Chain A
Amino acid sequence: MSGHGNDSRGNGEAGLIKLENVSKIYSTGTFGGKAITAIRDVSFEVQPGEVMSVIGESGSGKSTIGKMILRLSPITQGVIRFGGTDISTLKRRALKEYRREVQGVFQDPFSSYNPIFKADRVFSMIKSEFFPGMSGPEWRNKIGLALEAVTLDPTQVLNKYPHQLSGGQLQRLLIARALLLDIQFLVADEIISMLDASTRIDVLNLLADLKGRGLGIMFITHDLSLGNYISEKTVILRRGLIVEMGATGKVFGNPTHPYTKMLLASVPQLHRKWEEIADELKVSETVLLDREAAAKKAYETVSEILAPDADDSVLVETEPDHLVRFSPEEAREIEPAALAGKTA
């Protein structure tokens, strides 16, 4: 999983964004009695010009990773590095510089805009914080270029209120805003889910074009088909743990962990029925929804039927660029030479 791409900062080895054994633990209850682990021991790396999909259901903690990378939420354990630097050490001026390089776009386009102001105020916010000295015409030119990159017509989107624009236009405006800053890395948190089918693909294609320009993207989603479409690498998260990760083609083409198989078996496809897929994946009846058993225990989500991964489970490299989580016993059955990274 560790590539050796040269990013523009010249740190050949470091990779753009790197997570090392990152955990997020919330303390709840009065004066922080109980602890809830949202993310446990997550490590991965994203290179420039690479899209990594982080796929998980609700409660998997995928959004938490995005927020930590964006410094919107503090990291409890572990380190997140940007170009080699630990981002939790950045303060004030350095933090602002970080924001110039790393930005995010969120799920609900209508919630991302302050409803009482015009939509392009998000641009003027960037100007006042990052380009205070730039002249008017120069700034307008910059906006024009950014809008062109996201294929929006300035006359249609400038000077309008958010409720006058569509969800697709709003999302693309947010991407344009990020482009104004000449970012290196973008966190896209479920940005497609609230858009109509016909606009989804346009935004996805836009991300793919940006990736071609050297942008690194973390694409958080619960929809496997979307992740499959644009990403090189995929991470499957379950309850805060990585259960499978690697090159997208390998994770989707050769799913190994039962949870991944169950997810793939549940995705409604356009040309094959669920039964055909289940057969193909050889997902056994006991793994899929067992209603008799479920009725006795009232499972919250269908995926709870699957036993959770044990605390001492490890990630094992089953083939180059493909890691899967196994229990220690199962891991021992696989060739000891293939044991790549122990994460326990």
Chain B
Amino acid sequence: MSLQIENLKVYYRTLAGDVQALDGVTFSIADGEIMGLAGESGCGKSTLGNSLISLTGRMRYVEGTVTLDSTELPIWDFQDMNRHRFKDLSIIPQYAMSAMNPTRKIGRMTGELLESRGMKHKEFIPELKRRFELVGLSEDVLGMYPIELSGGMKQRAVMVISTLLDPSLLIADEITSALDVSTQKAVAEMLVEFRERGFVKSMIVITHDISILYQVADTILVMYAGKLAEKASAETIINSPRHPYTRLLISSLPEVGVTYSGKRLTGIAGTPPALLNPPEGCRFRDRCPFAYEKCLEEPPFVEVDPGHFTACWKEI
């Protein structure tokens, strides 16, 4: 499988105008690749992840193409995308845990989901139970209501249900954010295991926590203010990043073993630009210590080393 995204633009309609949340992104994911999508709030990572599956609410498709396994996905057409959702690509949405219908038992909810895709619920029950066991849930969970399960259990249940039809691409939107540290590790490791077992081919793991990505992702894509900043293998991003934003971000992360008295870390001064009327040129230039005249012109996202892409004039 592979995913190619070409110049994708998705804006949000608001009373004050269009918020250019995702402003022309181009990248690709190889078969079996777990790509982490990192960035701070408002950078567009959730918009990117969600737009691949469904454009809802105020999201508006502007231009760009998304190609999955050599088939172009008609993301602008909600009805048409139905034949791809759940089968070819699937999502674990950000608030999956709290989005489950409280009056439906888990088993029945899954059944309804399958029926809506034209599948027979009964055929999938053995596989469902097998996968539940794999993630550490007993089959009794099928007969429980969401309120009877803890956060971690719900998250694991949602992971299994979302991948039941073995999609080629799984989008996991902030699935570890609300969890305790030990459950986070279990869930993150589960993602890798799903790939190992062939339940999913490739993944986009959206999170603001780069350290989790270091543990489980093959590559990391860093976004800033609606544009791509850098993409490289996880090792490279952490140990030798090239985009100034990535470098400043990595160096502002506290770690076990690092103390204030030992070494004082610094953050990034300033705030990301508003995307209602984004500034011209590189969107990071106001906060970038290396900014110079050329930064008024938008830098292209190009390959500076094999497999290492970045959008910065200083690095090209």
Contacts and interface: CB of A to CB of B under 8 A. Distances in A.
B72 interface: no
Contacts of A295: 132-134, 136-138
B153 interface: yes
A252 B182 contact: no
Interface residues of A, number: 47
B271 A291 contact: no
Contacts of A230: 259-260
A204 B260 contact: yes
Chain B interface extent, by class = 35 or more
Given A196-B208, A294-B136, A201 B265 contact: yes
B180 A303 contact: yes
Given A197-B208, A297-B138, A301-B180, A269 B267 contact: no
Interface string B197-220: 000000000001111101100000
Interface string A268-283: 1111011000000000
Nearest to A202: B267
A298 interface: yes
Interface in A241-293: 248, 252, 262-271, 273-274, 289, 291
A266 B216 CA distance: 13
A271 B264 contact: no
A273 B211 CA distance: 10
Interface stretch (A128-136, A219-227, A307-315, A333-341): A219-227
A201 B252 contact: yes
**A interface, by DSSP: helix, strand, loop or mixed?**
helix
Contacts of A263: 181-182
B137 A302 contact: no
Nearest to B43: A196
Interface in B241-256: 248-250, 252-256
A228 B152 contact: no
Contacts of A225: 253-256, 258
A302 B135 CA distance: 11
A329 interface: no
Nearest to A263: B181
Given A222-B180, A223-B181, A298 B138 contact: yes
Given A301-B182, A302-B186, A270 B260 contact: no
Given A295-B138, A299-B136, A302-B152, A266 B185 contact: yes
Interface hub of B182, B189, B211, B253 (most chain A Cβ within 10 A): B182
B258 A271 contact: no
A197 B39 CA distance: 9
A208 interface: yes
Given A205-B267, A225-B254, A270-B214, 17 more contacts: A198-B268, A200-B252, A204-B254, A205-B260, A230-B260, A264-B256, A265-B185, A266-B181, A267-B211, A268-B215, A270-B255, A271-B238, A271-B239, A273-B214, A273-B215, A274-B215, A301-B182
Q: Which 6 A-B pairs have the closest CB atoms?
A: A294-B136, A298-B138, A57-B180, A268-B211, A302-B182, A198-B268
